[in-house]
């Protein structure tokens, strides 16, 4: 895992062709501002995500035109602009006002200024709760600082981080930028899908009583049917979709607040009502 020092250390390598070329294409003729890879940022320096990895990040988040993407620390705007070119509404929050101006010019040059918007702000003082996709390329400790806010976002929201992890919150998937990308550093991204809050006791009617303990998207617990306490297997959440196996039967359901609507083995339906939240 890269540290703050390593992030600075790889900047020299990152100064190679791609970022400089991108910065030039972003420059409107009227501007002389030209960012430098490794330049100081408020909480982390600017290093751009390689275009091939941005494409993979958007692919792994399975973005659609209905999504609203927010890039936290949007740099020269490349992730936001790439998303807007796919038809999404996308927004960048960036502390450096010159980078914000550069990003706005780039969005206009690319013909996506209506869908790609930018604001000068501190990500730690911004409300990005309406995002359905959050992208970030920050640092491990900054990700950890954001983690409680991210975990409180709407279940199913996708969070994609270039390189850096979220402490003990394991990603749902990881991807490399790919062999043809010619990438030497920061070539891996991780996806987390915000899980619904499922911990507690649920009344499943004639299916019994479900007790769940939750660690991020991982679940464990028991389904009690009469005097039998059946341990759950393969219990997990993907957004608000809950799945587990009990007594050889596969339970799948959709959790909405205090209710789960589910099916057993794809057949008979069950309803879960929350009795308490553990």
Footprint on this chain of ligand SAM (rule: CB under 6 A): 41-44, 46-49, 71, 73-75, 78-79, 93-96, 99, 122-124, 137, 162
Q: Which is nearer to ligand SAM, 34 or 269 (CB)?
A: 34
Rounded Cα distance, 226 and 134, in Å: 44
DSSP per residue, 14-72: HTSHHHHHHHHHH--TT------TT---SSS---PPPHHHHHHHHHHTT--TT-EEEEE
Return contacts of 225-233, CB within 8 angstroms, 24+ apart: none
The minimum distance between CB 86 and ligand SAM, in angstroms, equals 16
Residue whose CB is less far from ligand SAM, 49 or 157 = 49
Q: Which is nearer to ligand SAM, 54 or 246 (CB)?
A: 54
CB nearer to ligand SAM: pick between 67 and 94: 94
Residue 97 parent element (H or E): helix 97-109
Helix/strand/coil for 160? strand
Least gap, CB of 254 to ligand SAM (angstroms)? 33
Name the minimum Å distance from CB 135 to ligand SAM. Answer: 7
In angstroms, give the least distance from the CB of 114 to ligand SAM. Answer: 21
Using an 8 Å Cβ cutoff, are 102 and 31 in contact? yes
Give yes or no for a contact between 102 and 19, defined as CB atoms under 8 angstroms apart: no
* Nearer to ligand SAM (CB atom), residue 59 or residue 122: 122
CB of 188 to ligand SAM, least distance (A): 13
Contact 11, 37 (CB under 8 A): yes
Residue 236's SS3 state is strand
Which residue is closest to ligand SAM by CB? 73
CA separation, residue 15 to residues 85, 181, 198 (Å): 25, 16, 46
Q: Which is nearer to ligand SAM, 10 or 153 (CB)?
A: 10
CB 211 within 8 A of CB 273: no
Please name every residue paired with 260 in a beta bridge, in sequence order, or none if there are none. 255, 272
Q: Residue 179, CB half-sphere, CA atoms under 13 Å: how many? A: 0
CB of 164 to ligand SAM, least distance (A): 10
Residue 267 CB, shortest distance to ligand SAM, in Å, is: 46
Q: Of the two residues 56 and 78, which places its CB atom closer to ligand SAM in the complex?
A: 78
């Amino acid at each position: 895992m890269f540290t703050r020092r390593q992030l600075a250390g790889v900047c020299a390598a990152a100064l190679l062709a791609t970022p400089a070329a991108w910065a030039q294409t972003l420059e409107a003729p009227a501007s002389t501002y030209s960012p430098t890879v490794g330049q100081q940022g408020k909480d982390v320096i600017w290093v751009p995500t390689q275009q091939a990895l941005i494409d993979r990040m958007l692919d792994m988040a399975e973005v659609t035109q209905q999504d609203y993407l927010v890039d936290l620390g949007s740099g020269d705007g490349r992730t936001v602009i790439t998303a807007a070119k796919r038809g999404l509404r996308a927004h960048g929050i960036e502390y450096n006002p010159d980078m914000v101006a550069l990003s706005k010019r780039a969005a206009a040059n690319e013909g996506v200024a209506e869908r790609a918007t930018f604001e000068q702000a501190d990500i730690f003082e911004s409300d990005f709760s309406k995002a359905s996709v959050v992208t970030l390329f920050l640092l491990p400790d900054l990700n950890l600082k954001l983690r409680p806010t991210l975990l409180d976002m709407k279940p199913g929201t996708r969070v994609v981080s270039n390189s850096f992890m979220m402490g003990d919150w394991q990603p749902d998937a990881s991807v490399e930028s790919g062999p043809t990308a010619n990438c030497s550093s920061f070539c891996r991204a991780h996806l987390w899908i915000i899980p619904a809050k499922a911990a507690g006791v649920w009344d499943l009617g004639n299916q019994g009583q479900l007790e769940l303990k939750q660690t991020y998207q991982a679940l464990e617990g028991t389904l009690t049917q009469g005097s039998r306490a059946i341990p759950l297997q393969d219990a997990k959440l993907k957004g608000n979709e809950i799945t587990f196996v009990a007594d050889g039967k596969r339970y799948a359901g959709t959790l909405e607040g205090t209710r789960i609507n589910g099916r057993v083995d794809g057949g008979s339906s069950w309803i879960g009502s929350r009795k308490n939240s553990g």
